[in-house]
Structure formats: structure tokens, C-alpha cells
Structure 1
Amino acid sequence: MRGTVNLDLRALIWDIDGVLVYVGDSYRKAIVETTQYYFTEIVGLGLDDYLLSIEDTQKFKMAGGFNNDWEITYGAVLCFLTGIISEIDSRGKCVNSLKDLPMMWDESHRGLDLDPVFKGTAAKGGGLANLRNALVELYGGSEETAEKFWHTDLIKQLFQEMYLGRDLFRKKYGFKPEHVKSKGFIRNEKPLTAQKLLSRLSERHIMGIASGREHFEIDVVLKMHGFREFFNEEFIVGSDDFPSGKPDPSQLLECRKRIEEVKGFIGGGNIAYVGDVPDDVIAAKRAGFRSIGVTASIRNDSGKKRLREKLIDLGADFVVDELAELDEVI
């Protein structure tokens, strides 16, 4: 934890993923599995090994601008499509349709080195648009060809089928899953805090949520873990309220507006946003709020250390490894 002086806070606005719940086996797993499914089942490549790892998904987050996990998945698919097509282009061959890829693909070619892509994306400001620009700089026309076979609507549907599972998918969208019929990775999510802590904090602070999830998923996860009673529905802002994700502060500012309509004016210095990635700290600062960073979702010490240092460098007021430490801070 950074610092020992208590913050004078009236309101806490929370992120969900990586803060209230561990999503390494749900959202992050859905990114990995959707990417793999796209190439094995949609493209038709015979892959023995995974293209993407859970650690890679965190690198997307660290590059910035990937508030929505669908966009990480879009980016991952585009990266590997570009890498495969670049290798084919290097042999003087031309890919004209998706069905050409399995016949032209060299099985010894297992994708591409993502680190230069992450570095280039971060240098340009992060996010999917800048990832595309980084791929163009690295791979030229191969990226343009890859976009012809990059079907983001399909990728999103695959992701949602895997993440929600057949029952929740049908409940949300009104039709049965078409590709993946499983229970859903959402059921793998585990709480990162206890109800008792949230109860204590809610007695002392106004509680809100600003999340990259849509309201359907927010409601499911809060009910699943017994957190629903600690958050007033009026003070919950999701990505279906504001599609522009963090580091854009719009969600946070909307949450503040809703709170103030009920509770009266609250100064930005008396509000803290609790998040787990660099974009959360940036969004909090742009909104004029305090920022509390959380590293609880990172399982290895080196990754936790890198994240903590990054959050502090960006100006987080406090960084905690476990949410229980918040009792000491606020």
C-alpha cells in the first residue's frame, strides 16, 4: 500500500473486473478461447497450441485503451490474422478468401511476436485504432488484407456465447447460442472481497459503479456474489450508458452526476475511483477524482509489482494488494 494518511472521502465509485471479482477464469479466459475458436473453427487451422495466453490479455490492458474485453479479442484476432497473412505474403502468395488460409498456412508458423505490437500501440496512445496503426507500421499491406477476414460482429457473438453460456446468452439476446453451448465462463468468477467489507464501507460512503460491463452482466455478477445490496441502481453506470470506455472519464462523471442529484454536491477530491488497470487511474485523474489502485487480481509477484509501479507512476493516491487494506486507508 502506498502512503498511510487516510483519505477524506464521501463516495467510492468502483470498477468490477479485477476489483470486486476475479475474471482471469472468465472474461480473460473468454478472450483466449474466442481467439482460439476463431482460428480453429471459423478459419479452419489445425492448431495444437494456444495462440494467446492469459498473460497476453494483461499486456493489452497495460498498453491502454482496451476497456472492453471484446476489443481485446478483436485486437488479438486481427494480430494473428495479420501475422499469418504476412507470412503467406512473404512467400509471394496472395490470400483472396478465408478458405484460402488453411491451404496456404505454414504449420510451422505459429503466429507473431505480440510485444512489438503492444509497444507500438502504447506509444500511439493505446486502444484498438492505434493497434491497427501499429500493425500497419509493422506489417504494411498484410494488415489491410487481414481486415477483410476480420469479422468483429461474429467475434463478439462467440465471446458472449462463451462468457455468458447458453442460458444467460438466451436471456440477454433472445435467441439460442449458435456456436458454443456451454455453461459459460461467468460461472468461474470469484469474489475478491467479502460482503462484510463492502457492508462496512457502504455505511461510511456513498457507493457507485462505473464499469466496462453492460448492465445485464453487472446485475448478474452483483447478485451472484451477494454484492447487490451495497449499490443503489441509480448509481450504476455501464458501457451501455456510455460506449466510450476508460480512460475517457464520461462514465465516472455520469456516476458522480447521478449521486449528486440525490445526495447533493460532492467535491471531486472527496470521491475515489477504485480500479485495477492504468486506464482506471487516468480516468479518475481526468474526472478530478482520487484514485485507488488494486492489484489483487494479479496472481504472480512480478506481475503484481509491475502493475503497482505503473499505477503509482500514473498518480494513484493509494495502491492496495488486497481490498481488505482499504479499511486502513478510508
Structure 2
Amino acid sequence: MKVDAVVLDIDGVLVDVADSYRRAIVESVLCVYGDTIPKRDVQLFKNAGGFNNDWELTHATALYILARNEGLAYDLASFTDAIEASGGGLAGARTVIANAVDPDVRERIYAEWDRERLTTVFQQLYLGNELYRKLHDREPDLDADGFIHDEPVLVTPDTVAWLADQPLGIVTGRPAAEAAIALDRTGIDVLDERLFTMDSDTPGKPAPDALISLTERFDGEANRVAFAGDTLDDIKTVHNAADADPEREYYAIGVQSGGLSGERGRQAFENAGADEIIETVNELPTILGS
């Protein structure tokens, strides 16, 4: 596969977030509501689509816990399947709740659903006290060391060196400041105009806007672009870009170092239409050429 440019996601591709972002999701809900889901089940929400933003995934998890406590009949797998069937994301979760419970029950659930507090707790747990003060300019009300320090780097120095020789871009759901921290840890240097984050003025994945806009910013003509990500939304992003921008060729590479590992993950990527499936980002030099 010969391409003119390489685009990467960060989480699950360059750094392992199982004990940082995913831990923050489940522990934020536990902290606020005293109940939560197993960390492994976060992947069910990711597979439902539309949860590129982990704050919204946290909100949806809390919504499920609150609804379950009010007698929601769905188990988590059924709930996330219904979210997928309802269009994915937090809007899909709200649709499922609206259709599954009586109006008075729904109002009780929403009265308890404190999205602002969930996000605040998430940021404190993830960043820890020092970074939370620095990035949010406010005093934390929890005592947290910060899960951000538990993000093993997945990309090797040899791969970083190879990436440095490629036209390279990043499309991530992280806030810009947190993306900068992760990239600094990996040693990867990306031009500001080639970095799209939660703070960029584009819709989140699987909308194709960021990927297309990034492709237009590569020097010269980038007509063949590979995007490597660890979720099904990353694959959908590529297909959506190909539909919206038929003058270029976009290739979807599924990376199994996130939640979609093993044969089951490979099958999920194949079903989603990935052009290539690799175990780690460190296989990119082999499949894309030296």
C-alpha cells in the first residue's frame, strides 16, 4: 500500500489508555453514583459508535446506571446494541432511554443525571491535582494523582523515526492540551495545522471533516491517505471521507492495540471495512513501505 500521507489516532494507537481514560470513565461514574460498569465493558459503548468523546461516553454510562437502578430491563450489551440501532453516541443513548421507560421514570433519571459533575470528576481523576489546576485554572475538590501518568507508550523509537520522514497528521478526540502531553511522551512532532483535536472547529469522528481538512493541508498533493485508528468509528471516518471526497483515496487501517484485539477484534474491523488490520502501530513501516 503506497500512500502520500499518514494520519494517526492517539488513544489505543500511540499510547495505551486502558488504565487512564477508560479507568476514568468507570471510576467517575462510581465516584458520583456509587455504582458503575466493568472497565472491559467500555468497549461495548465504543463499538456502538459515536463515542469519540470520552466525556460523553461517561455521561452515557451514568445514564445506563441510573436507568438500571430505576428498573431498565436491558443488560449493558442490549443497551449498547440499542444505542447503535438508534444512531450511536449520547443522542442514541437518550433515544433508548426515552423509548424504554415511562415518562415519569425518565424525568427522575434526568433529574439525577449531572453531566457537569461527571465531567469535572473525570478531569480530576484523569489529570490529577497538579495538571487539573494548570489546565483548568481551578482548585480540585478531589485528591487524585492522575491516571494520565499510567499511559504506556505503544510506538517504538524506530517507528517514531519512520513517522518523522512521512507527511504526518493526527486526528484525535482528546482536548488539545492532553493531545500535546501524549505526543510529547511518544516523541512524535506534528505541525499545529496538522493536529485535529476535540478543540478544533470540526465535528468529531466518524464525521469526515477533520480528516478531509487535514488532507488538504499536506504540502503538495496528498491523493492517497492512510488513517490508522483503534475503533470502528475510525474506520467509518475513512469511509465517510471517501464518500465526501471522491477525488482522493482514503485507506482505513485498524489497529488492534486498543480494545478490538484478538480474532474477535479482527473480525469486527473486517466487517467494518478496514483495508488493513495490524496488531500495533509499529507495523505501519512494513505495510506502507520504507
Task: Give the TM-score normalised by structure 1.
Answer: 0.81
Q: Distance in 2 between matches of 1:283 and 1:257?
A: 16
Cα deviation 1:15-72 (Å, max 9, x = unaligned): 00011110000000000100100113xxxxxxxxx52111111110001111111011
> Is the CA contact 1:242–1:250 (under 8 Å) kept in the aligned structure 2?
no
Give the count of matched residue pairs: 280
Question: For residues 186-214 of structure 1, what are the alpha-carbon distances to aligned partners after superposition, in whole Å with 9 as ceiling and x for unaligned?
Answer: 000011111221211331x2011010011
What CA distance in whole angstroms lies between the structure 2 residues aligned with 1:256 and 1:82?
42
Q: Which runs of 5+ in 1 are unaligned?
A: 1-6, 41-49, 88-110
User: Counterpart of 1:148 in 2: which secondary structure?
Assistant: helix
Deviations 1:280-310 (A, max 9, x none): 00101111221111001348xxx53222211
Give the root-mean-square deviation of aligned CA atoms.
Answer: 1.7
Q: Does 1:53 align with 2:38?
A: yes
260, 269, 275: which one aligns with 1:311 = 269
Runs of 5+ consecutive residues of structure 2 not aligned to the other structure: 243-249
Residue in structure 2 matched with residue 97 of structure 1 by the alignment: none
Structure-2 separation of matches of 1:298 and 1:150: 27
2:117 to 147, 154, 164: 154
> Residues of 2 paired with 1:67 and 1:242: CA distance?
15
CA distance in 2: counterparts of 1:225 and 1:170, whole angstroms:
24
SS at match of 1:13: strand
Instruction: Work out whether residues 235 and 254 of structure 2, in 8 Å CA contact, stay in contact via their aligned partners in 1.
Output: yes
Residue identity over aligned pairs, in percent, reads 32
CA–CA separation in structure 2 for the residues paired with 1:287 and 1:30 = 31
**Paired position in structure 1 for 2:126:** 163
Q: Is the 8 A contact 1:80 1:112 kept in 2?
A: no
Instruction: State the 1:176 CA deviation.
Output: 1.5
Quick check: 1:143 aligned with 2:106? yes
Match of 1:108 in 2: none
Q: Secondary structure at the match of 1:18?
A: coil
Equivalent residue number for residue 230 of structure 2: 276
Alignment-mate amino acid for residue 16 of structure 1: I
The one-letter amino acid paired with 1:309 is Q
Q: Which moved more, 1:134-143 or 1:243-252?
A: 134-143
Structure 1 or 2, whichever has the larger Rg, is 1
Q: TM-score, normalised by structure 2?
A: 0.91
Aligned match of 2:93: 131
Kindly indicate whether the alpha-carbon contact (under 8 Å) linking 2:129 and 2:145 is maintained by their aligned counterparts in 1: yes
SS in structure 2 at match of 1:296: coil
Residue aligning to 2:221: 265
Match of 1:215 among 159, 176, 200: 176
Contact 1:78 1:146 in 2 (8 A): yes
* Structure 1 range deviating more: 125-134 or 304-313: 304-313
Q: Which residue of 2 aligns with 1:329?
A: 287
Contact 1:13 1:273 survives alignment (8 Å): yes
Runs of 4+ in 1 over 3 A off after TM superposition: none
1:271–1:243 Cα change, 3 Å: closer
Of residues 320, 323, 328, the one that matches 2:278 is 320
Whole-angstrom CA distance in 2 between matches of 1:32 and 1:78: 12
